[in-house]
Amino acid sequence: MASTEIAHDFSPLLVVYKDGRVHRLAGNELVDPSLDPLTDVESKDVVISPETAVSVRIYRPKPTAQPHKLPLLIYFHGGCFCIESAFSTTYNRHLNSLVAEANVIAVSVDYRLAPEHPLPIAYEDSWDALKWVAAHSAGTGPEEWLNGIADLERVYFAGDSAGANIANRMAIRVGSEGSSGLNLRGLLLVHPYFWGGKLIGDEEKLNPKDRMFIEKLWYFVYPKISGLDDPIVNPEFDPELGRVAAERVAVYVAEKDAVKNRGWLYSECLQKSGWSGTVDVVETKGQGHVFHLFNPTSDEAVDFIGKLAAFINAGHRE
């Protein structure tokens, strides 16, 4: 009989029982790839590593008489590293909307989740996905859609919450190690999931239980963490931050988001790091963490999708 004793309770995300069972409370509704009737965006799934089962969902907009290839968006989903999927209804809907609005081809990465696969596995899976994408730079990779449509000279990384954290790590790694065939033009960090050993801004006003939740969760998903000022958690202490490969960075924060101050701090640290690009912070008033995913048809969410698309479009018109 399965144990009902709880080892870790991170409701409303997940519960882990003492017998090792993991019960995810959100992000479990998955949807197959398809031709979306609302946006005319088509999607397909590809397993890029049979050994790890790491996969991607690729999206392409409605076919038109395009004279040129389309910019490529590589997306990393959120979910505190422990819930959600590139195949969930939430992210499938989000990518359909964003691909249609921005007129890009997109690769949404499905990395393995903690606690079964603690950090840094999500980063390694994401890096493997980038190398797989880069293999299409000469037009001879294994995936026809990328060979025929994607312009790897105009690449953008994006993600929300934990996915924004991953996108930042990937941009730094490209800058440090290189990724032959990928020209990273822009980085979009939506409500990035960072923290630190000392509270900043108005974080002291947060409910102590909410602060403790954030801090405990980091140790849960990354057991070998050196502390809350580990560079993975706190970019202020990342000596490699200045190696972000993107020419342009946009950081999106929300007024009522508990990690809002971390997005602003990221921008400040990036500007002081010796990085030579341009960074802007866009704050949405009156909204909370990933509001656009929870209420995707609201006027605020539709407007937000437009802002993300505008950032990409401005970059590939240069």
22-58: pLDDT as tens digits: 999 999 999 999 999 999 999 999 999 999 999 999 9
- How large is the average pLDDT for residues 200-222? 96
Band of pLDDT at residue 294, cut at 50, 70 and 90 = very high
Is pLDDT of 191 > 90?
A: yes
Cis peptide before 61 (omega within 30 of 0): no
| CB-based contacts of 226, cutoff 8 Å, min separation 6 | none
Beta strands at 54-60 and 105-110: parallel, antiparallel or unpaired: antiparallel
Check residue 227 and give its pLDDT.
97
Is pLDDT of 286 > 90?
A: yes
Neighbours of 90 (CB within 10 A): 20
Check residue 84 and give its pLDDT.
98
Q: What percentage of the chain carries pLDDT values higher than 70?
A: 97
The CA dihedral of 270, 273, 274, 278, to the nearest 10 degrees, is 10
Cβ(119)–Cβ(96) below 8 Å: no
Check residue 119 and give its pLDDT.
98
Amino acid letter, 225: I
Is pLDDT of 318 > 70?
A: no
Question: Whole-angstrom Cα distance, residue 86 to residue 112?
Answer: 11
Q: Provide the 3-class DSSP secondary structure of residue 54.
A: strand
Write the pLDDT tens digit of every residue in 56-91.
Answer: 999 999 876 556 899 999 999 999 999 999 999 999
Is pLDDT of 101 > 90?
A: yes
Residue whose entry in the numeric block shows the structure tokens 């993107």: 246
**Tokens linked to 94:** 């989000």
Band of pLDDT at residue 275, cut at 50, 70 and 90 = very high
- How large is the average pLDDT for residues 184-207? 97
Catalytic residues: 161, 257, 289
**Phi/psi of residue 282, nearest 5 degrees:** -120, 115
- Average pLDDT of every residue of the chain: 95
Write the pLDDT tens digit of every residue in 164-187.
Answer: 999 999 999 999 998 778 999 999
Cβ(292)–Cβ(95) below 8 Å: no
Cβ(161)–Cβ(79) below 8 Å: yes
Task: Please calculate the CA angle 127-227-248 and round it to the nearest 5 degrees.
Answer: 45
Is pLDDT of 317 > 60?
A: no
Check residue 312 and give its pLDDT.
97
> What's the Cα-to-Cα distance from 85 to each of 29, 31, 261, rounded to whole Å?
9, 10, 26
Is pLDDT of 248 > 50?
A: yes
Q: List the CATH code of the domain at 34-316.
A: 3.40.50.1820
Check residue 63 and give its pLDDT.
78
Burial level of 187, CB count in 10 A (0-12/13-18/19+)? buried
Is pLDDT of 118 > 50?
A: yes
C-alpha closest to that of 64 among 92, 34, 41: 41
